[in-house]
Amino acid sequence: MEYDREEPRLPAPRGPLSAAVKDYLLGTGALPGPAEAAGAPVYGDDLQLALYLCYELHYRGFAGVAPQREWDPDLLRVRAALEHHFLSALREDVPVHDSVDDAVAELLVEPVDGTGVSHFLRDEGELWQLREYAAQRSLYHLKEADPHAWVLPRLSGRAKAAMAAVEFDEYGGGRPDRVHARLFADLMTDLGLDTAYGRYLDAASAEALVTVNMMSLFGLHRALRGALVGHFAAVEITSSPGSRRLAEAMRRTGAGPAAEHFYDEHVEADAVHEQVVRQEVIAGLLESEPHLAPDIVFGIDATVFVEDRFADRLLADWRAGRSSLRTPVTSAPTHTS
pLDDT digits (tens, 9 = 90+) for 229-268: 999 999 999 888 899 999 999 999 999 999 999 999 888 7
In this prediction, residue 145 carries a pLDDT of: 94
- Structural domain boundaries in the chain: 16-93, 100-319
* Residue 5 banded pLDDT, cuts 50, 70, 90: low
Mean pLDDT of 275-296: 96
Please report the sign of the dihedral spanned by the C-alpha atoms of residue 271, residue 207, residue 167, residue 162.
negative
| Dist CA 86 CA 38 (whole Å) | 9
Q: Encode pLDDT of 37-46 as tens digits.
A: 878 999 999 9
In this prediction, residue 76 carries a pLDDT of: 96
In this prediction, residue 337 carries a pLDDT of: 37
| Dist CA 84 CA 52 (whole Å) | 14
| Dist CA 267 CA 286 (whole Å) | 27
In this prediction, residue 6 carries a pLDDT of: 79
CATH number of the 100-319 domain: 1.20.910.10
**Closest alpha carbon to 74 in 47, 37, 102, 49:** 37
Question: What SS3 string covers the chain?
Answer: CCCCCCCCCCCCCCCHHHHHHHHHHCCCCCCCCHHHHHHCCCCCHHHHHHHHHHHHCCCCCCCCCCHHHHHCHHHHHHHHHHHHHHHHHHHHHCCCCCCHHHHHHHHCCCCCCCCCHHHHHHHCCCHHHHHHHHHHHHHHHCCCCHHHHCCHHHCCHHHHHHHHHHHHHHCHHHCHHHCHHHHHHHHHHHCCCCCCCCCCCCCCCHHHHHHHHHHHHHHHCHHHHHHHHHHHHHHHHHHHHHHHHHHHHHHHHCCCHHHHHHHHHHHHHHHHHHHHHHHHHHHHHHHHCHHHHHHHHHHHHHHHHHHHHHHHHHHHHHHCCCCCCCCCCCCCCCCCC
* Residue 4 banded pLDDT, cuts 50, 70, 90: low
Q: Which carries the bigger pLDDT value, residue 154 or residue 2?
A: 154
Rg for the chain, CA atoms, rounded: 19
In this prediction, residue 113 carries a pLDDT of: 72
| Dist CA 155 CA 170 (whole Å) | 18
Non-local CB neighbours of 289 within 8 Å, separated by 6+ positions: 226
Mean pLDDT of 149-171: 95
| Dist CA 70 CA 61 (whole Å) | 8
Contact 239, 314 (CB under 8 A): no
Res. 1: pLDDT tops 50: no
**Closest alpha carbon to 245 in 275, 266, 231:** 266
DSSP string, 240-281: HHHHHHHHHHHHHHT--HHHHHHHHHHHHHHHHHHHHIIIII
In this prediction, residue 267 carries a pLDDT of: 84
Q: Encode pLDDT of 41-69 as tens digits.
A: 999 999 999 999 999 999 999 999 999 99
* Residue 115 banded pLDDT, cuts 50, 70, 90: confident
* Residue 161 banded pLDDT, cuts 50, 70, 90: very high
* Residue 21 banded pLDDT, cuts 50, 70, 90: very high
| Dist CA 327 CA 324 (whole Å) | 9
Mean pLDDT of 82-108: 96
Q: How many CB atoms lie within 10 A of CB 46?
A: 21
Helix, coil or strand: residue 6: coil
Q: Tell me the average pLDDT of the chain.
A: 93
Mean pLDDT of 85-103: 97
Q: What is the dihedral of CA 186, 318, 309, 261, to 10 degrees?
A: -20
In this prediction, residue 35 carries a pLDDT of: 83
In this prediction, residue 330 carries a pLDDT of: 65
* Residue 332 banded pLDDT, cuts 50, 70, 90: very low
Least confident stretch, 130-144, 207-221, 264-278: 264-278
* pTM attached to this predicted model: 0.94
